[in-house]
């Protein structure tokens, strides 16, 4: 289950970084309409993933 979350997090991270690399607004922190959902997904999954790491280690 955690591995699945990790996989989704990695995919979202890859997609976001690939977009940001080729997109100057996103690269400078001003998300374009295409970048917003990619960034949101990445941020949400990163949140969930970090939370799951914390709960698993206790
Ligand atoms: Zn963009």
Q: What is the pLDDT of residues 4-25, one digit of tens each?
A: 999 999 999 999 999 999 999 9
Residue 36 in any domain: the answer is yes
Give residue 56 CA to ligand 1 midpoint distance, Å: 34
- Residue 57 predicted with pLDDT over 90: no
Residue 36 structural domain: 2-15+31-57
Residue list, CB under 5 A from ion ligand 1: 23, 26, 32, 35
Give the number of domains in the chain: 1
Give residue 40 CA to ligand 1 midpoint distance, Å: 12
Residue 25 in any domain: the answer is no
Instruction: Dump pLDDT digits (tens) for 21-43.
Output: 999 999 999 999 999 999 999 99
pTM of the model: 0.84
Residue 21 in any domain: the answer is no
Give residue 21 CA to ligand 1 midpoint distance, Å: 9
Reported confidence tier of residue 1, pLDDT bands at 50, 70, 90: low
Q: Are 51 and 9 in contact (CB under 8 A)?
A: no
* CB neighbour list of residue 32: distance below 8 Å, 6 or more residues apart: 23, 25, 26
Q: Are 22 and 47 in contact (CB under 8 A)?
A: no
Reported confidence tier of residue 55, pLDDT bands at 50, 70, 90: confident
Residue 53 in any domain: the answer is yes
């Amino acid at each position: 289950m955690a591995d699945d979350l990790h996989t989704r997090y990695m995919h979202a991270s890859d997609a976001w970084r690939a977009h940001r690399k080729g997109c100057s607004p996103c690269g400078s922190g001003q998300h374009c309409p295409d970048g917003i959902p990619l960034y949101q997904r990445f941020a949400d999954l990163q949140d969930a993933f970090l939370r799951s790491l914390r709960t698993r280690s206790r």
